[in-house]
Structure 1
Amino acid sequence: MVQHDGTTADWLGYATLRLAGEDITVYLDPGRYGVLDGLKPQDGDVVCVTHDHHYDSDAIRQVAREDATLVLFDGIDANRIDRDVERPADLPYELVNVDEETDIAVGDPTGDRDDGPRPGEVFIRTLPAYNDPNGPHTRADGEPFHPPGFGCGFHLTLPSVWGRDVTVLWPGDTDVLAGHAELDVSLFCPPIGGSFTMDRQEAARLAEELAPNLVLPIHYDTFEALETDAAAFAGDVAGRGVPVVLD
């Protein structure tokens, strides 16, 4: 568990990130590979899912409140997933489908603030997430593991109990893309496992360009293809003058 500017960030394993701001809790890509074993919080006000690989309907039920809002990439197709999952439309929650260029406010806001998210509300901006077809993260036949249009990343703005907004970037399963470095990011949560996404060296270079207040890496060491040296990543990022923590 990491405390950052009045918010709490938990990397629960694989791509599962839990963020708690003022009166709102958000989960990103919950579930798979046992990361939620023994955990039944059902405290998520908002649940965001980037693409098919991270869609786990049982996990969503495990973390979501009864009145939760699901923010799912609109390309998620339960019929295409080779696991036993429910269709998003069959889940008992408010469903919001997003593409790669969506800007929305989600939650149950209170108060009169109009210059940022109010308590109980999160601003969500989506962005493209994919592997470069001419890059290294492709299958033997040259097809990207995550082709363009297959998923999205999430840039979140949460209200903090300290009275200032916190901007969080989970770029999704992606290479470093044009435009990433232009984002305003307080907490950067990059994938560093390589193989299917940017690796730790690429993520460290992007962290230096973004210059966030804190870097918390995720999406590594879940299985062999994602194994990496997280300590070396932390040292690399710190050596670039960017605060970093391993959860």
Structure 2
Amino acid sequence: MQAHLYVVRHPSAGLLFVQLLGVLLYPWMEDTPMSRALFGAFGLVVLGLALHVVKRSSAQTWVAVVLALMVLSLSVLDQLMAAASLQVLISLVEALFYLYAAVSLIIYMNADHRATTDELFAAGATFTLLAWAFAHLYTFCQLLLPGSFGALIDPQAARSWMELLFLSFTTLSGVGLGDIIPLTPMARALVMIEEFVGVMYLALVVSRLIALTVIKR
């Protein structure tokens, strides 16, 4: 009960927890016969939480609602009639949704001159939203241009969702573990853009929250 009330007061904490939980659960989902259905179900949970968090921010919510409805409709359609073109479109729309959600949270964190507990959780949730967004962009790139990403193990195979999410997290954080690499010009361009976004996010958003926390103390 107390945990539920805490999440209600700090919805960004709930979103952050669920996305980090997804990082732990995705490897177990990938090897199951119902992997697509499980990915879709978990993705809808993240989608709903992200939409709830965006609605509390200062950004207009109708764009997020439209994008979320598009993702939901396309996902249902994909379950009924799987097609490569649908998966390409879903990846692009999901990337746009998570990017918009991340921008909305950044606006929310910069709306005042104090760092609240929810805003600190929002900093972590925004990082995961950006990582998810670029992972979907990498998926879009791979579907559009097969062979866009290589790896040390089974280099000719298409990279899984977990591999692309791993690439996104390492790129965004600046760790740069290089066992998965972009091979095509479009893939390398996306990686460079994510590297820039990661540096700017830490320099402009996270550093500001830390400074406001120190000033408050």
Instruction: Flag whether TM exceeds 0.5 (same fold).
Output: no
Q: TM-score, normalised by structure 1?
A: 0.27
**Larger RCO, structure (CA 8 Å, separation 6 or more):** 2
Whose helix fraction is larger, Structure 1's or Structure 2's? 2
Whose strand fraction is larger, Structure 1's or Structure 2's? 1
Q: TM-score, normalised by structure 2?
A: 0.30
